[in-house]
Each structure stands twice: as structure tokens, then as C-alpha cells.
A and B are shown apart, each in its own frame.
Chain A
Amino acid sequence: ILNVEQSPQSLHVQEGDSTNFTCSFPSSNFYALHWYRWETAKSPEALFVMTLNGDEKKKGRISATLNTKEGYSYLYIKGSQPEDSATYLCAFMLWNFNKFYFGSGTKLNVKP
């Protein structure tokens, strides 16, 4: 069983604050790293799929970076809005494509 760790577990910020979370994963047998956004009472939706060391992806105010050699990825949210409130999951995929190991998520609450 592989460990995918996310920190912090939860985060409370004010509207307009910028924030970032960390996903740590094993650096060997890396294939891909996914970020998902999971709103309450909905299903997780993919934000980013990252495959190459040094990858940087951006979608609106949200961006992510990837360091496969040291085994971490950062997710950044610039100017948080209440609608950004959700749990953000990262998932590590092994090279043989069989499994996705999920972290426990970072629960973000953005106060208006």
C-alpha cells in the first residue's frame, strides 16, 4: 500500500486570500498525478492531470506544480472565492496504470 499524503487536512481562509496545499507521494514508479475537486454532495471532478517533472498547469485562478524527483505537488488558489470551498484530492498513479492512490484530501472553506 502506497502512502499519498496531503496537507493541511483542512484550511479556513477569507475571501480574497491566496492559498496552497501539498500532496506528497512516492517518487519511484511515477506515472501521473491527478488533482480532483470534490464539492459536498457531488462527485469528484478532475482539475489537472500531470505527468512530467516540472509540469505546471493552470485553470483560471487555480494552478498546480509537480516535482516527481522529490515526490510532491502543490495546488495554488489565487484570490479564493466562496465557491472554491471544496475538498481537494490528489491521486497518484503507478506506471502500470492499474491503480490510483488517493490522498485524504484538503478541505478548504472560504469565508465571504
Chain B
Amino acid sequence: NAGVMQNPRHLVRRRGQEARLRCSPMKGHSHVYWYRQLPEEGLKFMVYLQKENIIDESGMPKERFSAEFPKEGPSILRIQQVVRGDSAAYFCASSPGQGSNTGELFFGEGSRLTVL
């Protein structure tokens, strides 16, 4: 049973370009979370999605950032017109969702975005 898969693992973009990060949750998991880790900081919540729905995006910047989790395919975190401050590691985590008695999160290995 494959774990949470994130790609690309490393992404380099120039200022103004777009970055797309993908996350395939564990099989059977319908809930996806995106977290950002800035240098020397902890994990900061960005967005929580279920299939075809954004449940909570309160941690996501209002501009340039968007996320989706379509019925088919991976969850995507999209950053438009990237700036240097977007350089960070972006982690995806999945869980089976409500009804699970643990709420445990299963993390991917992260996507490291570098903006030149």
C-alpha cells in the first residue's frame, strides 16, 4: 500500500512563474491537508480538502495560492506568480477522514520549492 506521494520533490521557479505541486493521498484516504514549512520554522496549516471540496482554507494566502482535490487524480497546490518568499517545503498529509478513530495524519516527503 503506497504512502502519500508528492511530486515534484524539488521545483525551481523564477519570480513570476507558476508552481504546481501534486499530492496523491494514501489509498482509501479522502482527506488531504497541505502544510508549509518555512526555513527554521514549523509546519503551518494552509488548507484542508475533501474530494471536490475545500473545507478550510484559512491558512492559505488570499492571493496567488489555490488548491483543489478533484474527484479523479491528485490534489494540487497551485502558486501563481511566485515570489522569493514562497520558497519553502510544502507537505501534504492525508487521513481516512471522519469516522476514523485516530485522526492520524500520513505525510508525504514534501515538495521543496525554490524561487530564484
Contacts and interface: CB of A to CB of B under 8 A. Distances in A.
> On chain B, which size bracket covers the interface?
20 to 34
A13 to B, nearest CB: 21
> On chain A, which size bracket covers the interface?
20 to 34
Interface stretch (B11-19, B40-48, B70-78, B80-88): B40-48
B27 to A, nearest CB: 17
B35 A102 contact: yes
A43 B48 CA distance: 18
B55 A98 contact: yes
A49 B48 contact: no
Contact of B103 (A34, A102, A104, A105): A34
Contacts of A46: 102, 104-106
Contacts of B43: 44, 89, 102
Interface string A49-68: 10000000000000000000
